[in-house]
Amino acid sequence: MNKRDFLKKSSLGAVGVALAPSIVMGKSRPHNRLRTAHIGVGNMGGADLEAISSHKLVDVTALCDVDGNNLAAAKKLHPKARIFTDYRVMLQEMGGEIDAVIVSTPDHTHAPASMMAMQMNKPVYCQKPLTHHVSEARAMNKLAKEKNLVTQMGIQVHSFYDYKLATLLIQSGIIGKVHTVRAWSPKNWGYDGAAPEGSDPVPATLDWNLWLGTSAERPYKEGVYHPGNWRKLMDYGCGTLGDMGVHIFDTPYNALELDVPRTIKNECRKPTGFGFPENNVVTYEFPGTKHTAETLKWVWYDGLGAPEMHEDLQLPGAENKKSKKKSLQKRRKRP
């Protein structure tokens, strides 16, 4: 599936359910509609906007993006919405006319934007990975609890049929006690080089200062950060493990009712100091639960060459997969 199809299929499946007006608004609201404000409306933000606005009780009231082209495209679809480049101005000016906020910016802006919205008692749907730093996720969790807000992170797979089925197969004991989990992503989006030198002119349609947001000042460089190239960079994203692990860990981790691992070992390429160490093979050892062997081994692979198939995953009678398996085994030695 290509990136566009994935985003479309993914978001249409779950966001509408998460933010259904009856769930977010409870019974106390005088009107029966949900007025939404969207922070980041390009790429995934565009898919979120499409999914959420497809609900007949949703009114898209405000749109915010630091890229004028993405903002203009969203405004075209929602001409009644007011538009902003700075989410702080949007929330201040429109606070009384917004019932829920959707945050679909790069990861480093998730917490600042979501925290401000939640401080104003707004329910928030925030894209995955929830935050850039663990401390931010804890602060968001605390605030949402204190304010009793409806919130959700954009890991739509959690609402898919496959998630429920996998959980049922594990928790009902149908597949027996699990001893090993193998999880991986060969996704290779984003800039993955050394820190660039020099600078490029900032496009007239981009507010680079607002894109940087709470991160350190840095000269603009084409093809390195915006749009979508920031994922593997330490100041803005969470690397492939954070980007895709958040989706892929979700099902087995929750279904197996795991807690904190006893040990974590990582083999990866040498870190650059600018980007995350990619090409990871991370081995976790978890204490057993009622669904696992005494100890559970979990291996995560990412980067080009991450395995697409492993003999552990071979179903009985799946001989037709043999040739594929062989070729993949050549690509990478696995623990």
Ligand X SMILES: NC(=O)c1ccc[n+]([C@@H]2O[C@H](COP(=O)([O-])OP(=O)(O)OC[C@H]3O[C@@H](n4cnc5c(N)ncnc54)[C@H](O)[C@@H]3O)[C@@H](O)[C@H]2O)c1
Contact residues for ligand X, defined by CB under 6 A: 7, 10, 39-45, 64-67, 70, 87, 104-107, 109, 127-128, 154, 156, 210-211, 213, 226-228, 243
Provide the minimum distance between the beta carbon of 100 and ligand X in the complex, in angstroms, as a whole number: 16
Sign of CA dihedral 248, 253, 259, 262: negative
Q: How far apart are CA 13 and CA 16, in angstroms?
A: 7
Nearer to ligand X, 87 or 220 (CB): 87
Nearer to ligand X, 112 or 296 (CB): 112
Torsion of CA 320, 323, 328, 333, to 10 degrees: 110
Provide the minimum distance between the beta carbon of 147 and ligand X in the complex, in angstroms, as a whole number: 22
Residue with nearest beta carbon to ligand X? 42
Q: Please report, for residues 127, 223, 274, 278, the alpha-carbon distance to residue 191 in angstroms, rounded to integers and kept in the order given.
A: 20, 7, 10, 11
Nearer to ligand X, 230 or 286 (CB): 230
Provide the minimum distance between the beta carbon of 120 and ligand X in the complex, in angstroms, as a whole number: 16
Residue 103, φ and ψ in degrees, nearest 5: -115, 115
Q: Residue 101's closest CA among 24, 7, 8, 210?
A: 24
Provide the minimum distance between the beta carbon of 312 and ligand X in the complex, in angstroms, as a whole number: 26
**Cα angle: 11, vertex 12, 14; to 5 degrees:** 70
Decide: 219 and 156 in contact? Cβ < 8 Å: no
Tell me the angle at which helices 110-119 and 87-94 cross, rounded to the nearest 10 degrees: 10
Nearer to ligand X, 75 or 128 (CB): 128
Provide the minimum distance between the beta carbon of 190 and ligand X in the complex, in angstroms, as a whole number: 9
Provide the minimum distance between the beta carbon of 325 and ligand X in the complex, in angstroms, as a whole number: 28
Nearer to ligand X, 158 or 332 (CB): 158
Nearer to ligand X, 99 or 243 (CB): 243
Pairing of strands 292-302, 281-287: antiparallel
